[in-house]
């Protein structure tokens, strides 16, 4: 039995890591550079095979993606913990502590996704929290925290394109490898931002995430049942994610005051 990864996106692959808590089936990925980079999240979990001509698994928007992966390989997901998991080495955690030591009381704030600044990616724009709101969040948090905004280097997706939108009053850290980023998130342990791979990564290394999301939209392919980590998925541990509509300023304000 093998598990097929649908893309090089961080979040898509982190859904698979939850399955690997209960099996060590190899993961097949497309043989391309971005897939090879993101494949490192599977270190200490399973092996990865790079092939051409992969068939993607079909999506049922009424069922969470992780549950669908369990079903496709014949595993029962009931009474199991379905939250992503990355297994870091002690040397990786030690590196991250050293890398972050100059940032006192850090917190991660992310306002970009893989389609940020792409005028043709309507879904990405829909999911993205409004820039003004996330900037106000950063302004407030910067009095208490060192706000760290991580991101990809320019031209990561294609020449002349950057999905990184710098926020004021935040420290900008770009270009870390996937496991370096995971180790940093493990050390920091606190995230607030949009629904993108970074929040899944924070959960995968044991952190807490406040995720700012849009309303549900069938037209945009954004359904909570398909995407959110519901209560029944946290078997054996406390829930570590809070979802807030990114236009609900009152709830956002109350939440960040408690951080």
Is the pLDDT score of 62 beyond 70? yes
Angle between helices 90-100 and 178-188 (to 10 degrees): 70
Residue 42 CA to its chain's centroid (Å): 15
Per-residue pLDDT, averaged over 67-86, amounts to: 95
Is the pLDDT score of 192 beyond 70? yes
- Tell me, what's the pLDDT at 58? 62
Is the pLDDT score of 150 beyond 90? yes
If you search the block for the tokens 């093998």, which residue do you land on?
2
- Tell me, what's the pLDDT at 119? 85
Q: What is the pLDDT of residues 41-52, one digit of tens each?
A: 999 999 999 998
Is the pLDDT score of 118 beyond 90? no
Least confident of 41-50, 153-162, 217-226: 153-162
- Tell me, what's the pLDDT at 182? 98
- In the chain, where the domains are located: 3-72, 90-257
Domain 90-257 homologous superfamily, CATH: Glycogen Phosphorylase B; (3.40.50.2000)
Per-residue pLDDT, averaged over 168-192, amounts to: 98
Per-residue pLDDT, averaged over 171-186, amounts to: 97
Is the pLDDT score of 60 beyond 70? no
Is the pLDDT score of 137 beyond 70? yes
- Tell me, what's the pLDDT at 59? 64
């Amino acid at each position: 039995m093998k598990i097929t990864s649908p893309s090089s996106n961080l979040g898509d692959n982190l859904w698979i890591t939850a399955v690997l808590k209960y099996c060590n089936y190899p993961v097949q990925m497309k043989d391309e550079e971005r897939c090879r980079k993101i494949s490192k999240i599977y270190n200490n979990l399973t092996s990865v095979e790079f092939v051409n001509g992969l068939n993607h698994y079909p999506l049922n928007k009424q069922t969470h993606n992780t549950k669908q992966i369990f079903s496709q390989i014949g595993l029962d997901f009931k009474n199991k913990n379905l939250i992503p998991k990355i297994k870091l080495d002690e040397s990786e955690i030690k590196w991250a502590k050293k890398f972050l030591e100059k940032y006192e009381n850090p917190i991660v704030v992310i306002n970009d996704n893989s389609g940020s600044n792409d005028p043709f990616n309507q879904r990405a724009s829909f999911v993205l929290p409004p820039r003004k709101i996330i900037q106000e969040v950063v302004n407030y948090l910067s009095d208490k925290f060192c706000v760290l905004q991580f991101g990809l280097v320019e031209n990561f997706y294609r020449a002349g394109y950057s999905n990184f939108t710098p926020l004021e009053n935040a420290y900008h850290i770009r270009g870390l490898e996937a496991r370096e980023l995971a180790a940093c998130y493990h050390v920091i342990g606190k995230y607030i931002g949009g629904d993108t791979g970074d929040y899944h990564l924070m959960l995968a290394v044991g952190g807490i995430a406040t995720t700012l999301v849009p309303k549900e939209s069938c037209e945009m392919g954004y359904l909570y049942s398909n995407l959110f980590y519901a209560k029944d998925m946290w078997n054996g541990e406390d829930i570590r994610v809070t979802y807030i509509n990114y236009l609900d300023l009152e709830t956002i304000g109350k939440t960040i005051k408690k951080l």
